[in-house]
Amino acid sequence: MDYINFGNTGLKVSRLSIGTGTHGWAGRSDQTALGLEGLANLLRRAFDAGVNFWDVADQYGSHPHVARALQGIPREQVVIATKTMSRKGPDVARDLARFRKELNTDVIDIVLLHTLSDANWPKKCADAMEVLSRAKEAGIVRAVGFSCHGLGALRVAVEVPWVDVVLVRINHAGVNMDASPTRVVPVIEELYAAGKAIYGMKVLGCGALKGNVRSAIEYVLRLGTLHAFTIGMTSAAQLEENVRLVEELAPKYPLKKIDG
């Protein structure tokens, strides 16, 4: 599997990211339901297949599974993105300390503010953003950003220099998205042109589009403005099929060149 430069973060990621948050909330998900060893083994299998980008979150309860999976894997060869629900600076600082302990890592590659939907989020989350910026300056975090659950919040991000990474809901059918693809895709294009690192979620519409996984994956690759996308998988068979499709299709749809 090819690795690409993830926006301006300095990170190199696989186009396919393994997600750990299908139906994830309140400390559990379909992936964590596999158990500590079950999910850890699936993550290791993903790494062996070339998937170096792991998407996790405090709300999914998947940090211990990642720590387990990293045993025997060179830490520097895996890109870990996690997320915090905290919005106040002191709470974010505490989360970072806890996340590093739970993940058993000194440095977290990407930390996102989880599920932002309000267009006024840069003002409301200023304290949290400041703490994450200081963590990045200290080398504790490599890149920062947010996972988006509102079109207004997505549009604002184009003009916010603080944002390194955006996780956006996107699929060809508009299932569980912030708006229709015709409204979301132009904003993704603006974010991409602004140098943001962008990866997609809900590519299979929370399972609604699993009847034609090939078409769903081909759609997001064809956009040319998503550096990567995350799919929650619960079996080796799902992983192998998704890896096969990405390896087949990704070379046909390279990322667009940014003017200038």
Based on the structure, what is the number of domains in the chain?
Answer: 1
The reply to whether 82 falls in a domain is yes
Q: Are 22 and 12 contacting, i.e. CB atoms less than 8 angstroms apart?
A: no
The reply to whether 257 falls in a domain is no
Cβ count within 10 A of residue 90: 11
Instruction: Give me the CATH number covering residue 97.
Output: 3.20.20.100
| pTM of structure | 0.97
CA distance 111 to 122: 16
The reply to whether 21 falls in a domain is yes
Encode 209-229: b = buried (16+ Cβ within 10 Å), e = exposed. beeebeebbbbbbebebbbbb
pLDDT of residue 260: 57
The reply to whether 192 falls in a domain is yes
Tokens of 179: 């708006």
Domain interval for residue 49: 3-252
C-alpha 99 chain-centroid distance: 16
Tokens of 206: 């929370």
The reply to whether 260 falls in a domain is no
Quote the strand ranges of the chain, DSSP E: 3-5, 12-14, 16-19, 53-55, 79-84, 108-116, 141-148, 165-169, 197-201, 228-232
The reply to whether 163 falls in a domain is yes
Query: What is the mean pLDDT for each group of 10 consecutive residues in the chain (260 residues)?
Result: 95 98 93 98 98 98 98 96 98 98 98 98 98 98 98 98 98 96 98 98 93 97 98 98 98 89
The reply to whether 258 falls in a domain is no
